[in-house]
Amino acid sequence: METKWLEDFISLVETNNFSRSAALRHVTQPAFSRRIQSLENWLGTDLVDRTSYPTRLTPAGIVFYEQALEMLAQINGARDMLRSKRAAAQNSIDLAVPHTLSLTFVPKWLTALETDFAPINSRLMAVNVHDAVLQLVEGGCDLLLCYHHPRQPVQLDPSRYDMLVLGRESLRAYARCDKNRVPEFVLPGTRKAPLPFLSYTNNAYLGRMVELILGDARPPLHLEPHYETDMAEGLKMMALEGRGIAFLPESAVTRELKQKQLARADNNSADWEIEMDIRLYRERPSAQRRGKAIVGRLWDFLEQRQNEKAPRRRVPTSER
């Protein structure tokens, strides 16, 4: 059994609505429903009465709700107790980061911070976007670094969480270069000859970005799925083997583009790409949860640097 199943079930009891709970848990409704079913399978009994609307618990679900609250409290209490004993942790920054950014953005970012700010002891947790957000919400990390797009936002309460934009990332189509150093596949393809498509799984954040690209594409793209994974690095390796077109973050293919192993497969068109923010989040310090001093100093440094780079508004002569 996974802890997140308990959290999902408790959320469902509190909202009485699968869609609302799925949104609060930063997961699609089908994925949320599967996790509730996984919990039921593990317990060997139904917790939710699916013959009624709105959502209602079975007698077993009513009994298990109290048990779930108690189990989760015990688990979190044990975790907090153990973490409080890690004196060295006060000088270390725990980062929750999606897999792609952990390989492309984080190494260079930390190296630059060592030069501009100070040496940093860090612990990185590379997970998917959903689990990275949960790490922050549940107190499992100090900082969350992730992608963000207005049409697929990371929904964190701005009254509780601070945010900084650290950069921008472009997601585009790439394919292997042939001996003439041109891409072997080029968008848009045709209805009769669709292009082999290396795609993300449905629960991958970048997969949702690709869905936006495909939905907005004019003219439409003709692609035939050939391979699927939730990691950009896996799609890149398949693209390097010449297996098809993959939509990849620009930072993930910098070396391959320079060495002419991969090339843009979109005729350099901006119609088939999307830009995302690279954002950093922290829980805002409070009297109850002050946070680590090292995290506060780093945040102040990054915030000051961002303010210095922000363009200043020119004051009209009439206002001087």
DSSP state letters, 186-223:
-TT--SSSPEEEEEE-TT-HHHHHHHHHHHH-SSPP-E
Query: Shortest CA distance to 130 belongs to which of 235, 47, 26, 241?
Result: 26
The per-residue pLDDT for 84 is 59
What do you get for the CA distance between the two ends of the chain, in Å? 66
CB atoms within 10 A of CB 169: 22
DSSP for 23-86, written as a single string: HHTTS-HHHHHHHHHHHHHHHTS--EETTSSS-EE-HHHHHHHHHHHHHHHHHHHHHHHHHHT-
Would you state the pLDDT for residue 85?
54
pLDDT of residue 177: 96
Prior bond to 153 cis, omega within 30?
no
Position 319 scores a pLDDT of 46
Distance CA 15, CA 9 (A): 10
What pLDDT shows up at residue 14? 86
pTM of the full predicted structure? Answer: 0.70
**234: how many CB neighbours lie within 10 A of its CB?**
16
d(CA 303, CA 165): 10
pLDDT digits (tens), the chain, 320 positions: 788 888 889 888 888 888 888 888 888 888 889 999 999 999 999 998 877 667 788 999 898 988 888 888 888 777 766 665 554 467 789 999 999 999 999 999 999 998 999 888 999 999 888 889 988 988 889 999 999 999 998 888 999 999 999 999 999 999 999 999 999 999 999 999 999 999 998 878 999 999 999 999 988 999 999 999 989 999 999 999 999 999 999 999 999 999 999 999 999 999 999 999 999 999 998 887 888 899 999 999 999 988 887 766 554 555 44
Residue count (the chain): 320
**Whole-angstrom distance, CA of residue 166 vs CA of residue 139:** 22
